[in-house]
Amino acid sequence: MTDVLTQTDLFSKFDPLIEQRRALLSTGLTDPFNLVMERVLSPTEAICNGRPTILLGTYNYMGMTFDPDVIAAGKQALDEFGSGTTGSRVLNGTYAGHRAVEDALREFYAMDHAMVFSTGYQANLGIISTIAGKGDYIVLDIDSHASIWDGCKMGDAEVVPFKHNDIEAMEKRLRRIPEGAGKLVVLEGVYSMLGDIAPLKEMIAVAKAHGAMVLVDEAHSMGFIGPNGRGVAEDQGVLDQVDFVIGTFSKSVGTVGGFCVSNHPKFEIMRLVCRPYVFTASLPPSVVHTAATSIRKLMHAGEKRAHLWENSRTLHAGLIARGFALGTQTPQSAIISVIMPDLERGAAMWEALLHEGLYVNLARPPATPAGMTLLRCSLCAEHTAEQVQTIIGMFERAGKAVGII
């Protein structure tokens, strides 16, 4: 009889990963990719493994998940519109709430068009694969998110990556594109692995000089960076030069969904030609009503933004002072990324922090650049100054226990 675990089949390609996980978990380590939040107490606290845990890896930057107005809007929508739309946006799946959240986005960004997708992943997948077709060129940062790469792969355009945040490398590639070919430059405001921002002002100027359209993914900056929380492009004064902003509801907005906003006069045609928009069910009414309410509150969240920046600066300085290696020399976003020497010690540190009562994200290749293992911390505007000090103490104790500092 053939042992199903040793026979060769389509799953054989996953054997190295299966073996790596087996070796890691055989040490008795808690599986970092299988944690259950048993109860969620607030945007910053949950019960994990029966233990009260501070949440520092949720991307819930603005802490909107338990906002009373947001919750009330969702409950009301459940009562009035039911639990789901059971249909595509272009058929029976556009309710009043879908229009309302697109109105809120247009106002939030002061742009002409807004199109809501069921997830942020689908927003990148749909827009990129649809606008860049055969014979066109996509020039993108090598550290782009998986949804951007998958959007490139799904379309028929020529895909040309350049070294992370390297303006000259980007310029060289744009210059070499054949005359007359369509060009799309894809950038991110905040790169979520290291928490660093892009020099959008310079990069967008170069892109425009070469006649390229520009798409910027502002998933990790919405609500927080820029005078009105519109993102890094707004902060650097170049939002009017961006053709397409991609964003998500699953971070600062505090629910799920994705979107693209644009001033392009023909943008509305996307609703008919973009397959990841057409061939999937639309978001449930409760989700779009919570999102609309949250987005409108984020327009007036200046004080929360200031507090979140304060949290980011305090944690960054505190971890540097205790000898941790961080992804950025200065705090550039609400993500503070702690560089681990290897996966084994990264996983051990992750577990030690969990035992201290702190949840962070363990990130490892291939999601990470340069094969790094990272403990990614994302701060929340609802973290108190005391919680941030508690977090620094937890890092210090866990780091000493694991031998990283």
Partner 1 sequence: MDRAATSARIADLIAPFNKKGIAITDTVTFAGDLEWDSLTVMDFVAAIEDEFDIIISMNQQAEIETYGQLVDAVTRLRG
Using the contact rule CB under 8 A, the part of the chain among 11-19, 25-33, 152-160, 328-336 near partner 1 is 152-160
- 161 interacts with partner 1 by CB under 8 A: yes
Pair of tokens at residue 38: 């048993």
Nearer of residues 70 and 132 to partner 1, judged by Cβ: 132
User: Which of 371, 385, 389, 400: binder of partner 1 (CB under 8 A)?
Assistant: 371
Cβ-contact 257, 283 below 8 angstroms: yes
* Count of residues touching partner 1 (by CB under 8 A): 17
Q: Which is nearer to partner 1, 147 or 286 (CB)?
A: 147
Q: In what order do the strands lie in the sheet with 37-42?
A: 37-42, 45-48, 51-55, 358-359
Backbone torsions φ then ψ of 182, nearest 5 degrees? -70, 145
* Residue of the chain from 90, 167, 169, 320 that contacts partner 1 (CB under 8 A): 169
DSSP letters spanning 136-168? -EEEEETT--HHHHHHHHHS-SEEEEE-TT-HH
Binds partner 1 (CB under 8 A): choice among 98, 113, 173, 297? 173
Residues in the chain: 405
Binding partner 1 by CB under 8 A: which of 39, 51, 176, 400? 176
Site string for partner 1, 210-229 (x = CB under 8 A): --------------------
The side-by-side arrangement of strands in the sheet containing 373-378 is 335-340, 373-378, 361-363
Which one-letter DSSP state was computed for residue 282? Answer: P
133 lines the binding site for partner 1 (CB under 8 A): no
Quick one: which of 29, 269, 273, 370 contacts partner 1 (CB under 8 A)?
370
- Work out which of 111, 125, 177, 402 binds partner 1, going by CB under 8 A: 177
Torsion over CA: 140, 142, 148, 150 (sign): positive
Q: Is 184 a residue that touches partner 1 (CB under 8 A)?
A: no
Residue closer to partner 1, measured from CB, 47 or 159: 159
Place of tokens 């990264």: 346
For 197, the enclosing helix (H) or strand (E) is: strand 196-197
For residue 326, the 8-state DSSP code is B
Enumerate binding residues for partner 1 (CB under 8 A).
137, 142, 152, 158-163, 169, 172-173, 176-177, 366, 370-371
